[in-house]
Amino acid sequence: MAGVVHRHHHFARRGYHQRVYVERIKPLEQYTTEELYVRFRFGKADIEYLVNLLRPKLQHRTQRSHGLSVEDQILIALRFYACGTFYQVVGNYMGVVKSAVCDVVRDVSIASLVNEFVSFPKDNQIAQAKRRFFLLGNMPNTIGAIDCTHVHIQAPRENEWEFINRKGRHSINVQLVCDADLIITNCVVKWPGSVHDARILRESTLYRDLQTNRPDGIILGDSAYPLLPWLMTPFLTANTPAQARFNTAHCRARCAIERLNGVLKRNHRKHAT
């Protein structure tokens, strides 16, 4: 379906905006799986899965004049997520106007089914989580590891100073919890880079839930976090052999979250274009 690109042509006597129709690119037909990964961070089968998954929530947009198909919407949103660039740049690449990109990114983000895929271990999953962490680092009773990681962004127009992190760069500080297999079980993606890890945890729904209903197990965090009944941090100074062994086991098990952050950022650098 043709996209609409507004090109401004001023005619001395008539003076009007002429609409020029151009063909939108068709990535699933034009690109190989590797090329799709480079441009959208997903392959063809993954994109088709997302299209079918989100179709019920996005179908309504196709009823508008020159509406975008669900496939178009998913691809536009993925391109924006992959590159983190301006709406206009994404629009130029995908053959749509800037305002359409803005609407699509908003709609796809709202339609996200993150809560169906990212969830803290339930009763029947806790025992398995504990076994996996024990095998990983000899750390008993562990069901998760927590840490924050900075995702760099372009300087925002409003409250720009709040997003400057300790390294002097603009970022969002993202809190993640994962299991021993690097599966994300909780995430908080809304705090500017200047906010400390401990505050993000304290203000989170996860904190309120675990404070009210203590889990059958513990989460491992680094020294940036407070020691809580359900959150275990290392000894700042290991004064005994037992404390040293604890710190070693804690470090080996908690490395899961550091590996996860490394994988996420490595994929970002690999596919950025």
pLDDT tens column, 223-271: 999 999 999 999 999 999 999 999 999 999 999 999 999 998 875 555 4
Boundary residue ending a domain (112, 134, 166): 112
Looking at residue 273, the DSSP 8-state letter turns out to be -
Whether this prediction's pTM lies above 0.85 is answered by no
> How sure is the predictor about 23, in pLDDT bands with cuts at 50, 70 and 90?
low
| Same domain for 264 and 130 | yes
pLDDT in tens, 36-47: 988 898 999 999
Please identify, among 97, 112, 127, the residue that sits at the C-terminal boundary of a domain. Answer: 112
* Per-residue b or e along 38-75, where b marks 16 or more CB atoms closer than 10 Å to that residue's CB: ebbbbbbeebeebbebbbeebeebeeeeeebbbbbbbb
* β-strands 142-152, 218-220 pairing: parallel
Closest to 6 in 3D by CA, of 64, 88, 67, 72: 88
Number of domain units in the chain: 2
Highest mean pLDDT out of 24-28, 36-40, 168-172: 168-172
pLDDT for 29 beyond 80? yes
Note whether 151 and 47 are same-domain residues: no
Instruction: Find the domain containing 91 and state its range.
Output: 2-112
| Same domain? 64 vs 120 | no
Overall size of the chain counted in residues: 273
pLDDT per position as a tens digit, 86-143: 889 898 888 899 999 999 998 888 777 777 788 999 888 999 999 999 999 999 999 9
Is the pLDDT confidence value at 59 over 90? no
